[in-house]
Amino acid sequence: MAKKDGWYGERRTFGVHYDMHVSVEDRHIGEKLSVEDLVLNLKAMKCDWAQTDCKGHPGVTGWRSRVPHATVNEHIHKDMMEAWRAATHRLKLPLHCHYSGIIDHAAGELHPEWRVVQGPWVKKAPEMHRMCPRSAYLDELLIPQLLELIDRYGVDGFWVDGDLWGVDPCYCPQCRAAFAENTGIAEPPVETTEAHWPAWMKFHRESFDAYVTKYCDAVHRHKPGVKVCSNWIQTFGDPGEPTAPTDWISGDNTWVFGMDSSRCEARFISTRGKPWDLMLWNFYCTGGFANLETQPWVVKPAQMLMQEAAVSLALGGHVQVYEATQYVRDGRLIPWRSRRIGEVAEFVKARRKVCGQTETIPQVAVLHSEHHYRSVVGRNLHAGNDTAGVRGAVFSLLEKSYGVDVLDEWALRPRLSDFPAVVVPEQWNLSGEMAGKLKDYVEAGGGLLVSGAQAFAKFGAAFLGADGDGLVDVDGGETPSEGFPSKTSHWCVSGGADVGPVWSRQIRLLEPSGGKALCFFCRTPFPDSDLTPYPAAVVHQVGKGCVVYVPFDVFKYFHANRYPFVREFIAQAMEALKIDWAIRASAPVAVDVVLRRRAKERIVHFIHRGSGIPNLPQSGAIDEVFPVGPVAVKMALERRPKEVALALEGGKMAWKFKAGVGKAPGRLTVEIPRVRLHEALVVRTA
């Protein structure tokens, strides 16, 4: 079944993931489960592969594992693994297992020596024990159980949960000794502000990578073709060269309002060079996990899942839907919910032909530097690091209809010249090598937008076209005596027709020296009378290209509030690069544009993110999605296209082609009255 790319081929684009996280308290495991019911539900879901519960975070199995260190539920009425394997065999579907890795509470109870030794800031034990990647847990429980599942049930793959995001710094003697040997640092740090903290977290990332590599190698050696994925490894929260030999990349998306997460994840994971999917939760709770008693889990509207799915599909990925029947603890699936998932499957499969086997049309690259990411780290490998600037850049650029890819240094360096524009959003600690290559890129004709007060030191005054010795640290107190108000958060900048306040922890006061001011900071929203001499952006021609420098954290600010005037200010900065775009779309703010190509086809996707219901804090759903428009595309082409068509929603459009003069290309103009949910314009040139 497996293909050379590590996946099953393009026929299998939609999967269903089911897990229960079986605990010792469960009393009815498999009691009302039947193969016939599973077959009916899987048919209703119309899935191409299935993942089922195997071992969740409690560390308890709902099947009778024979591995000596296993914890098996004592009330198994029917082996759920046998039932799922029988049902998937009958439907000729691959079967994967959901298996919790680093997080295994039962193993930690049985073997305290396997647990992570928590740092001194942890005042009470976590609800679920974490395993040290260097402990015997890997060799004595995890790997033996994976091999047991292959031999007894013939499973086709593993989706290892609770891995990257479950890694806490471990102060056990083994980790301490290995850290000292690897780095020469005698004592590991305990505070994130200590100089050696990034080195300490880098050590844990390498320990984790070795742990994943070891179980991948064990599975592949035991039975070639069985696939392995570690949840969230090599994703947006784990930038840098992918080294662990996983077969595909996946992560379960944010359980409510997952669209924004998808928009960043899909644009990053699609650069990793592996098959991938994003797993969409079929259910949500508006109030969060802490409010489940009063706001229980409910099923998402199908259109909400379709919107999230469209993001992955347009970027060339696959889709999974995570189903967990929270209030049914015997292993059954719920038929009406299965049919709802089947509606999403139809949506996904209808897009298979248009979305499969495509690659990006490079337009704007947003740098997500692994060097910067790992220099500003918290206490977890996957969460709490500095990504707000990158996210804000993605969101603001998408809202202005740019085609956006998110690349780390590893992915961007060899492809830098492919992109007409690069945005470096508050990535002040990118590597010196990357900064040098970006300078060369601009000299050769590229367009670069750099933001953040601290980025000035990395690129320098000569390159940015401005002197910037004046650095204001924003602490909420009094400001310097340049006439600013008492709160520096009240500085204003112009953004199109609007003038509004901005906030940044630091703001660099610039004086153009070769560059030209694009706009200025204001003391108040009255730019005519209260303008300062300090530019809010500087434009500098360098060689054949152009760099725009914004001396404050504009993208983090946009991420925090999504103010429209900030979006327009960012749009001004992008326009100042004066790029002659080969493709330029124009769409409502609620519509994301994705640019893809395949052979002689250029494909422009339009994804409607909006909702017809009011935008209220109490409403987590997206429902009654109404069509929006119009949208338009201008595309440079050497000759008249063979075909221009809308591929997905059957809507109307108008197009015309104007031939170029001399060596200039022709111009295709397309106008589409409306997009309902996900439309794709396909232009065939031969």
The amino acid present at 633, given as its one-letter code, is: V
Question: DSSP character for 69?
Answer: T
How far apart are the C-alpha atoms of 117 and 105, rounded to whole Å? 14
Give the confidence band of 490 by pLDDT, cuts at 50, 70, 90: low
- Report yes or no: 82 and 33 within 8 Å, Cβ to Cβ: no
Average pLDDT score over residue span 295-324 = 95
pLDDT at 481 over 60: no
At the top level of CATH, which class does the domain 361-575 belong to? Answer: alpha beta
pLDDT at 1 over 60: no
pLDDT the model gives residue 289: 78
DSSP three-state, residue 601: strand
Write down the H helix ranges in 58-196. Answer: 80-91, 105-110, 137, 143-153, 173-183
pLDDT the model gives residue 525: 83
pLDDT the model gives residue 489: 53
Average pLDDT score over residue span 455-459 = 96
- Report yes or no: 491 and 520 within 8 Å, Cβ to Cβ: no
* pLDDT, tens only, 605-626: 999 999 888 766 677 788 888 9
- Report yes or no: 222 and 161 within 8 Å, Cβ to Cβ: no
CA distances from 625 to 483, 611, 678 (A): 49, 5, 11
**Range of weakest confidence among 41-55, 472-486, 547-561:** 472-486
- If one compares 210 and 494, the residue with the highest pLDDT of the two is 210
Strand boundaries in 543-600, DSSP class E: 545-550, 583-586, 591-598
Q: Report phi then psi at 493, rounded to 5.
A: -135, 160
pLDDT the model gives residue 483: 46
How far apart are the C-alpha atoms of 270 and 17, rounded to whole Å? 21
* pLDDT, tens only, 536-556: 999 999 999 999 999 999 999
Q: Report phi then psi at 284, rounded to 5.
A: -155, 165
- Measured between its terminal Cα atoms, the distance across the chain in Å is 34
pLDDT at 475 over 90: no
Average pLDDT score over residue span 116-144 = 94
Average pLDDT score over residue span 132-158 = 98
- Report yes or no: 175 and 116 within 8 Å, Cβ to Cβ: no
| Model pTM above 0.85 | yes
pLDDT the model gives residue 170: 97
How far apart are the C-alpha atoms of 662 and 581, rounded to whole Å? 19
Question: What token pair was written down for 2?
Answer: 């497996």
pLDDT the model gives residue 617: 66
What mean pLDDT is reported for the chain?
93
The domain defined by 583-684 carries CATH number 2.60.40.1180: yes
Average pLDDT score over residue span 76-100 = 97
All structural domains of the chain with their residue ranges? 14-359, 361-575, 583-684
* pLDDT, tens only, 376-398: 888 988 887 899 999 999 999 99
- Report yes or no: 436 and 485 within 8 Å, Cβ to Cβ: no
Average pLDDT score over residue span 525-532 = 82
pLDDT at 484 over 60: no
Name the burial class of residue 654, with classes exposed (0-12), middle (13-18) and buried (19+) by CB atoms within 10 angstroms of its CB.
exposed
The amino acid present at 438, given as its one-letter code, is: L
- If one compares 149 and 497, the residue with the highest pLDDT of the two is 149
Closest CA to 169 of 142, 140, 196: 196
- What sign for the dihedral angle of Cα 86, 90, 91, 95? positive
pLDDT the model gives residue 496: 63
How far apart are the C-alpha atoms of 183 and 200, rounded to whole Å? 9
pLDDT at 189 over 50: yes
At the top level of CATH, which class does the domain 14-359 belong to? Answer: alpha beta
- Report yes or no: 685 and 602 within 8 Å, Cβ to Cβ: yes
* pLDDT, tens only, 404-453: 999 999 999 999 999 999 999 999 999 999 999 999 999 999 999 999 99
Name the burial class of residue 493, with classes exposed (0-12), middle (13-18) and buried (19+) by CB atoms within 10 angstroms of its CB.
buried
Beta bridge partners of 535: 520
* pLDDT, tens only, 29-38: 999 999 999 9
pLDDT the model gives residue 299: 93
